[in-house]
Structure 1
Amino acid sequence: MGAAVGEGASVERLFAGTDPTLELARATDWAATPLGPVAAWPPELCAAIRTVLPSRIPMLLWWGPELVQIYNESYSRVLGAKHPAAMGQRAAECWAEVWDELGPMATGVLDGGGATFSEELLPFMERHGYREETYWTFSYSPVEDAEGRVAGIFVATTDTTARVLTERRLRTVRELGTVSAAQAREDGEPVAEACRAAVEALGREPLDVPFALAYQAERRRAEALAELDAAKTRFFQNVSHEFRTPLTLLLGPLATLLDDPDLPTGQRVPLAAAHRAALRLRRLVDTLLDAARADAMRLRADPEPTDLASLTADLASMFRAAAERAGLRLEVDAPPLPGPVLVDREMWAKIVLNLLSNALKFTAEGTVAVRLRALDGAVELAVADTGAGIPEDELPRVFERFHQVAGTRGRSREGTGIGLSLVADLARALGGEVRAASTPGEGSTFTVRLPCGGRDLAEPCPLGDEHETATPFVAEALSWTADEEANPAEPAEDAPRVLLIEDNPDMRAYLVRLLAEQGWRVDAAVDGDAALELARRARPDLVLSDVMLPGRDGVAVLRELRADAGLARLPIVLLTARAGSDAAVEGLEHGADDYVVKPFEPAELVARVRVHLETARLRELMISNSERRADTLSGALDTRSLVGQAMGIVMAQRRCGPDEAFDLLSRMSQRRNVKLRDLARDLVQRISGAAATRRVHGTAAPAARQAPPPPPPAAGAGAP
């Protein structure tokens, strides 16, 4: 027995071979396992190993009371993520999740119960990091030692999971194929009956379909929504193209006129405003067209080798004048990159321009910084600002189409909510991504990361018409800080005062000029807070306000004015770009006197303002006259009371009637050249003062015995 044990029992000879599992077996510290060193293994174990390892069928050997595992290369694929830790591991540890089921079978074999055979057994294993439905056909066969005792178990196994699942799912598909609406009950609706039968067929196999619901109306709704979405996309594409022709006819002649050095200044100012408005409209049209292309999955990049650092720095520098005019620092840090980057330059330009204009719009003071870096095979653009910031709950939605963060203060309330979503679409079309980080009150950072592309690129192409792409963005940014125009002429001192609230500089300058030409004094404010301060400092005769304002909007300003007792009667006219009766009703319900929709006819707006100014003037005049009449009546009643008291005193002193007393008082008033009311007040006060003095000194006699005061002097005898 002892000689047989040591014969050939070495790791190198027992596990000889080149496959990975044999290499693993050779490297295993068997002495640390319950089996002990290989040199001490019994010949029955060595013989079983020589049977298991060469086989191309998955085979496993469990040896000893603790069932230590030894397996071949084919079985390693059965183990999944349990390999390579399973080599030399106890079976109960390796198969812990299914040992309640497999353990009793293995114990029965060790106890002499004989071999077992299981066909398509279902254990739920965890071999790949999740609980998995598996099916196995396997046998446990005893391996005896020299004394006939069971020393180990030989496991031969076949994975039947794929076959079982395939047969079961094909059976379900066949049953679904037999479902027909024609088989519906006479009292049933064909489609509903077909759905019911399909759900019943799916319910027979809960492991494949644990939950099923049938929707026929949702499918039709989804199809209708898809058709509507496609129609919307076609509409945006068509209308964007249609806008380009009239815009060309607007921009061309306007540019020609503005290039004329002999154009009078009085005409240049409104033409320049019209040119800026047309440029902004062109940018909106281009943005809508890009958004429509993105929705239709037609946003295609045309990449070419590009000096991305130079392009980025060039685009950013175009905003320097707008930043300086706004009192901001523009920092551009775009050092040369290791080489050209394969990118669609127009798409990249729109990304940079949108992010920069957005940063300038929402940064009241501080810095806007542009940084470009090459990092780990990619290029990264960061546009950071010290502006208003974005609330944490709004960050996940900033790249949604048409979403705008409510309550954020900026240089303008205008916007479509497309810019940032278009940045995300363009970044994806370039194979990259964009992310946002922000702290409310401290600023935001938008980061775009793109792959660099191949290293062996051709020389970068010269820069093209990126300036043309940038012109509308820069023009709009400059308009946010445009200088206000002076009134055409100094209005008269008693001219009506109009408080104008409009955040768009061009529209504000136009309205100031239009109203001032009527001889009215115009105070202009860019937001609601500034307007309320102006109104309380110098009460206007009328308020003309845009509805969409940064911060406090026009309706909120209206409510504040109506709540102020000193300003509650001001006529208020609202301006809005929202057309339709619903919008007008909403404005009037909040207390507006009138509601004017943009675009408006200048003459109509002037006429409406004039009507409300005149109506307010007449209303205030009527209120003033009413107050004067009330004051006059009050004075008359007061005078009558004083004269009556004075007549009573004279009647008591002179023992005369009312006519004689009144006649006496009238003659005294004429002789002393004082009003009758003043004479009566003086007489009443003197008599009242004398009575008060007697009461203080205790000299008042009883009323029945009190002597009458001395009578007034006779006519011509002097003042009483």
Structure 2
Amino acid sequence: MELTKTVIPEFLTGGGEMGELIRSRDWSETPLGSVEMWPQSLKTCIRIILTSRQPMFVWWGPDLINLYNDAYRSILGGKHPEVLGMPASEVWKEIWDQVGPRAATAMQENEGTYDESLLLIMERNGYPEETYYTFSYSPVPGDAGGTGGIGGIICANTDDTQRIVGERQLMTLKDLGKHLLDSESDTAVYNRAITILKENPADFPFACIYQADLKAGILEMVGKTDASLADTVLPPSLEIESTLAADWKFKHAIHTNKSLVVTGLKDKYGKLPSGKWTISPDQALVIPIIQSGQACPFALLIVGLSPYRQLDDKYRSFFQLVADQVASSIVNVHAMEEARKKAEALMEIDRAKTAFFSNISHEFRTPLTLMLGPLEELLAQKEGTLNPDQEAHVMATHRNALRLLRLVNTLLDFSRIQADRVQAHYSPVNLSSLTEDIASTFRAAIEHAGLQFHVNCDPLTTDAYVDRDMWEKIILNLLSNAFKYTLGGSITLSLEQDGDNAILRVQDTGVGIPAEEIPHMFERFHRVKFTRGRTFEGTGIGLSLVKELVLLHGGDINVKSEDGKGTTFTVRIPLGCAHLPADHIVKNDYELYISGLSEAYIKEAFHLGRGNGTSMNGNVPAGEEKPRVLVVDDNADMREYLQRLLEKHYWVDTAANGKEALEKITAQLPELVVSDIMMPEMDGIELLNHIKHDSAISSLPVILLSARAGEEAKIEGYDIGADDYLIKPFSAKELLARVRAQIRISRLHQQAIDILQHSAEELEKKVEERTAELLRKNSELEQFAYIASHDLQEPLRKIRTFSELLQMGLQKGTPVNNYFDKIQSSAARMTQLINDVLNYSRLSGRDVQFVSTDLNAILQQVKTDFDLLIEQKQAIIKSNELPPVKGIPLQLVQLFTNLIGNSLKFSEKQPVITITGTPLQASERASYSGLQDDIDYVKLEFKDNGIGFEQKFAEKIFTIFQRLNEGRQYAGTGIGLALCKKIVENHRGAIKAEGSLNEGATFIVILPADQ
């Protein structure tokens, strides 16, 4: 041991495993000779490499004998340890064509070499491998005692393979993420992906993408990186069940959603595109492009694998990331497409609503014109035809007709703006004078209400270009709004110049706006809840219309307010005309301009400014036998009308809102309260709750008046505790009958509490039963239904009521009586139109329950409703046993009513209506679009022998407001069949019509069967 230790050369001590190998090797028979004979320069090089952690080697002597350290073993791979002591040309024979000349340069020319990230195809583990190295060959001189010259080469190596490959793959992934992001279609995603993969020929010698149509069983190629990829290998179109698809394992990849390796490509297909390499791939990877959680892939990505890379986990993960990037982009495209379709659907709904508003506004204007004309002719007569009471009735009717026309015009203006059909005409005006003149029309109404009105309009130094009609609407709406919510103090309108802008301010000392409501003030149909004001009436689109008109002038509007202290609206519009469309500018002379538009606003303001006043018979001696009735309504016309109607039989007191009513009830208890629901400060519901929850007055009967039509509204009224509920418009006889009944019940309650308790229990039971049947709906036109029911029906009711009162005192056949006939006819038509419109709008609700429905019972109910008409026309209605359906009973009653009523109306001879119901056969389903595959359906046919229609109008008759016949001969609104279509669509069914002129019509209805 001591002898061995002494013979170990010092330069070989340590050095790890390679030091041990060099020490243990017998070098005497090699070109290097025994270790003891090695030249000092070699020993120094060996000592350097053995103590270094950098991969290093020494090639020594003419044969370049290979010596290396531990770190260099990873470079040699499977060649270690056999290559220790072998000539370098044998160690690296596969790359000697590249490294040999570099070694010769160092040995023969005594000149070092340097290469950075040089590609070397090494065979270290039994297969050719893509590698990248940075290395330098440094010549080492021999010992001076020897032959002199260069003894060998020492080299340090850096393996750059992972860095080069990683950067290359990262660039591919980055490009995919960047360029696929804004693709607008599946095809664009695939094409861009192929373009990016083509830029990385090292990892993608060839690649292609097949889009999958699994229903058709077809794969369609949507792109490939190399045009030379033969169609016989991967054709443009391929059946999934074909032999070629099986060879490529396409079907297996689709069913398993896993990537699969296809081998033996050279033997099967010969030479294939090789990308960066000189030899073609022998393997390919088939990768499903699929969304996570999805059952079937969008497409398949086929990648020819590099012949110089092993398909390890890292390499496979890279390809999977590529496929995932493509799949993610496809998902984004589909999501954007869905979002686009939803946006288009919303826009279509908005366009439909706008068209709906526009259509019904036009429909309303015709009967309004026919009402206003005769009324104005009556008011213009000076012969004393009307007595003072009659004249007051006519004036109230005319005033409410004007108000209704203003509401309709506002709706029409707004719908035109929304549909971009407004043509503004901007002309130069003296804006200060114009604004003062418009505002002055409001002065009398404002001061009559006890308010101060200040107008301060400074002269402007620059011309202002405005549409005069629009500017008038802006001012009148802002002043009307300020007047409505200012109960005391002042209203100030000012106009001033700020640079190149005109600033209009309307400031009031009114009730103000809560802070949380301010962001919503210019939203259409938005109204501040529970605010105090002169009235609760209004459409909720006035301020929204103002904003749209201001925007058309290139300006803006904002509001500042403090609850309880007042509000300021500020309008800013640019001066001059540079900001306006040149083709809408009208160059004309300055002129003062006031249209007739202000008349409706001023009359309404005067009307709102009238106080409640003192009732004519409000103070009644104690013990008076006449019953006392309290009328509560914020509309002065309505209060006066109800007072005149009731004071012949009762002592009548009035209040303008619920708060005032409670004060009067406390002062003197009435026997009955007749109250509107929608009022400022305290509405009818809150008043009712106060009465019914106060034990001292809880027995006080309350009749609620509301413009909300329909059975649901009545049930809701009863449900909140009303003793009776009356829908506007109502007749005078009906109101008097309800009042008499409630007072009689109230008095009987004092005499026979047990009987009334029993009656109350029966009433409560009835209400509960009816409430249980209630189907609450959320219509897509809820805002408009509210406007139509409250703000349109109320003035219409007054028109009909006052006309009836006036006509009662006139002799039949007189010219004046003819005027009233026209008013009554137009009002009746408008009432029917409003009811049909409300029915149509309420059908949008989808939050109802579908239940098993007996169509035979519904048919019997409808026949009972038509008893008189059937008897008058001697009609015959036949039917078979109708099968049950799954549906909404109330809507199905409406459907049968409209279809049977349609057949009765359009039959000139004895009507024969045949109704049949059968299961829908599978062979017939294709004739009806929109039916669901997993649902059975029932086919109903309504056949008549009426006047029929031409088949070319079969689709047109289901359009709202569409009529094919003269209204004078066949009355109607043109909404009935549109209602039928909407009801059927709510049931996810179908409807169509067949007919021949003068040969009858058949309506076919498809409804879900009761499964």
The normalised TM-score by structure 2 is: 0.43
Task: Find 2:379's aligned residue among 258, 265, 268.
Answer: 258
Matches of 2:423 and 2:586 in 1, distance apart?
Answer: 21
Matches for 1:281-680 after TM superposition, within 5 Å: 281-454=404-577, 460-464=589-593, 466-482=594-610, 493-517=624-648, 519-623=649-753
CA distance in 1 between partners of 2:499 and 2:750 (Å): 73
Deviations along 1:6-32, whole A, 9 cap, x unmatched? xxxxxxxxxxxxxxxxxxxxxxxxxxx
**Contact in 2 for aligned 1:237/1:289 (Cα 8 Å):** yes
Counterpart residue number, 1:175: 189
Q: What amino acid is the match of 2:671?
A: D
CA contact (8 A) 2:559 2:567 kept: yes
Output the amino acid matched with 1:292.
S
Contact 2:501 2:574 survives alignment (8 Å): yes
TM-superposed CA distance for 1:536, in Å, is 1.3
Structure 2: distance between partners of 1:429 and 1:330 = 28
Distance 1:336 1:614, change over 3 A: same
484-493 or 556-565, which moves further after superposition? 484-493
Post-superposition offset of 1:219: 5.0
In the TM superposition, 1:130-169 aligns within 5 A as: 169=179
Q: Give the CA deviation at 1:367.
A: 0.8
Paired letter, 1:469: L
1:63-82 pair list within 5 angstroms: none
Partner Cα distance (1:319, 1:583) in 2: 38
- Give the SS at the match of 1:543: strand
Residue type of the alignment partner of 1:237: S
Q: Secondary structure at the match of 2:609?
A: coil
Inter-partner Cα distance in structure 1 for 2:321 and 2:422:
45
Letter in 1 for 2:625: D
1:411 and 1:244 mapped to 2: Cα distance? 27
**One-letter code of the match for 2:605?**
A
175-184 or 363-372: bigger deviation: 175-184
The offset of 1:624, in angstroms, is 12
Q: Secondary structure at the match of 1:299?
A: coil
1:515 partner letter? L
Letter of the aligned partner of 1:579 in structure 2?
A: A
The secondary structure found in structure 1 opposite 2:700 is coil
In the alignment, structure 1 segments of 5+ residues that lack a partner are 1-113, 118-160, 627-720
Give 3-state SS (helix, strand or coil) of 1:369's partner. strand
Aligned residue pair count: 466
Does structure 1 conserve the Cα–Cα contact (< 8 Å) formed by 2:189 and 2:330?
Answer: no
Cα displacement string for residues 464-496 of structure 1 (whole angstroms, at most 9, x for unaligned residues): 4x3311111111111112366887889893211
Report the CA distance shift for 1:185/1:243 in structure 2 as closer, same or farther (over 3 A).
closer
Code of the aligned partner of 1:479? H
Summarize the Cα distance change of 1:183–1:169 in structure 2 as closer, same or farther, 3 Å threshold.
farther
Pair 196,616 (structure 1): closer, same or farther in 2 beyond 3 Å:
farther
1:224 aligned residue: 345
More helix as a share of residues: 1
Deviation at residue 550 of structure 1 after TM alignment: 0.4
Q: 1:176-214 CA deviation, whole Å, 9 max, x = no partner?
A: 356846267978999995779999989638999998872
Q: Deviations over 1:499-549 (max 9, x none)?
A: 1110011111111111113x2111100011110110111110100000001
In structure 2, the CA distance between the partners of 1:533 and 1:488, relative to structure 1 (3 Å rule), is closer
Contact 1:488 / 1:513 at 8 angstroms: preserved in 2? Answer: no
**Structure 1 residues 610 and 223 mapped into 2: Cα distance closer, same or farther (>3 Å)?**
same
Q: Who is 2:394 aligned against?
A: 271
| Match of residue 79 from structure 2 | none
Partner amino acid, structure 2, of 1:422:
L
1:107-155 deviation digits (Å, cap 9, x = unpaired): xxxxxxx9x99xxxxxxxxxxxxxxxxxxxxxxxxxxxxxxxxxxxxxx
Alpha-carbon shift at residue 450 of structure 1 (Å):
0.7
SS in 1 for 2:666: helix
Instruction: Identify if the C-alpha distance between structure 1 residues 365 and 181 changes in structure 2 by more than 3 Å, giving closer, same or farther.
Output: farther
8 Å CA contact 2:425–2:586 kept in 1: the answer is no
Shift of 1:374: 1.6
With normalisation by structure 1, the TM-score equals 0.59
Structure 1 counterpart SS, 2:604: helix
Cα deviation for residue 167 of structure 1 reads 12
Could you tell me which amino acid in structure 1 is paired with residue 470 of structure 2?
A: M
Partner secondary structure for residue 660 of structure 2: helix
CA contact (8 A) 1:574 1:587 kept: yes
What letter corresponds to residue 393 of structure 2 in structure 1? Answer: P
Indicate conservation of the 8 Å contact 1:487/1:513, yes or no.
no
- Distance in 2 (CA, whole Å) between partners of 1:448 and 1:202 is 56
CA gap 1:182/1:563 in 2 versus in 1, 3 angstroms: same
1:244 aligns with 2:365: yes
| Preserved CA contact (<8 Å) 2:375 2:394 | yes
Q: Supply the distance in 1 between the matched residues of 2:680 and 2:357 (Cα, whole angstroms).
A: 28
CA displacement at 1:611 relative to structure 2: 1.0
Aligned-residue offset at 1:421: 0.6
Distance 1:184 1:607, change over 3 A: same
The one-letter amino acid of 2:603's match is A
CA-CA distance at 1:298 after TM superposition: 2.4
CA distance in 2, matches of 1:494, 1:195: 86
Residue 629 of structure 2 aligns to which amino acid in structure 1? V
- Change over 3 Å in CA distance of 1:218–1:522 after alignment to 2: same
How many angstroms does 1:579 deviate by? 1.0
Deviation string for 1:533-586 (max 9, x for gaps)? 101111101000000010211111111111222211111100011112222111
* Percent identical residues: 42
Q: Distance in 1 between matches of 2:540 and 2:460?
A: 33
- In the other structure, the counterpart of 2:306 is none
* Secondary structure class of the residue paired with 1:503: coil
Question: Using the alignment, how far apart are the partners of 1:202 and 1:470 within structure 2?
Answer: 68
Tell me if structure 1 keeps the 8 A contact 2:632–2:676: yes
TM-superposed CA distance for 1:622, in Å, is 2.7
Query: Contact (CA 8 Å) 1:340, 1:459: kept in 2 or not?
Result: no
Q: Residue 272 of structure 1: CA displacement?
A: 1.1
Name the aligned partner's letter for residue 462 of structure 1.
Answer: E
Unaligned runs of 5+ in 2: 1-113, 118-170, 192-208, 218-253, 256-289, 302-319, 579-584, 757-1011
How far apart are 1:316 and its partner, in Å?
1.1
Q: Pick which of 276-285 and 201-210 moved more.
A: 201-210
